[in-house]
Amino acid sequence: MRLLDTPAATIAYDERGSGRAVVLLPSGAHTRHDFDALRALLPDTLRTIALDWPGHGDSPAPRVRMSAMAIADVAETCVAQLAPGGAIVIGNSVGGFAAARMAARRGELVDGLVVVDGGGFAPRSPLVLLTCALMGRPRFLRAVYPAFSSLYTRGRSDTERRARAASIATTRGDPGLRVVAELWRSFASPEHDLRAEAGAIRAPTLMVWGRRDPVIPLRVGRRAASIVPGARLAVLDTGHLPHVSEPERFAQELLGFVEAIPARTPAGTATARTRAPGH
The tens digit of pLDDT for each residue in 186-233 reads 999 999 999 999 999 999 999 999 999 999 999 999 999 999 999 999
Residue 267 lies in a domain: no
Arithmetic mean of pLDDT over the chain? 94
CA distances 110 to 89, 225, 261, Å, are: 6, 17, 11
The CATH number that applies at residue 85 is 3.40.50.1820
Domain that residue 12 falls in: 2-124+193-259
Cβ atoms within 10 Å, residue 155: 16
How many domains is the chain built from? 1
Cα–Cα distance, 239 to 209 (Å, whole number): 8
Using CA atoms, how far residue 93 sits from 47, 116, 217, 240, 269, in Å, is 22, 6, 11, 8, 33
| 55-98 tens-digit pLDDT | 999 999 999 999 999 999 999 999 999 999 999 999 999 999 99
Pairing of strands 20-25, 87-92: parallel
In a domain, 275, yes or no: no
In a domain, 273, yes or no: no
d(CA 61, CA 209): 30
Give the integer Cα–Cα distance in Å for 232 and 206.
5
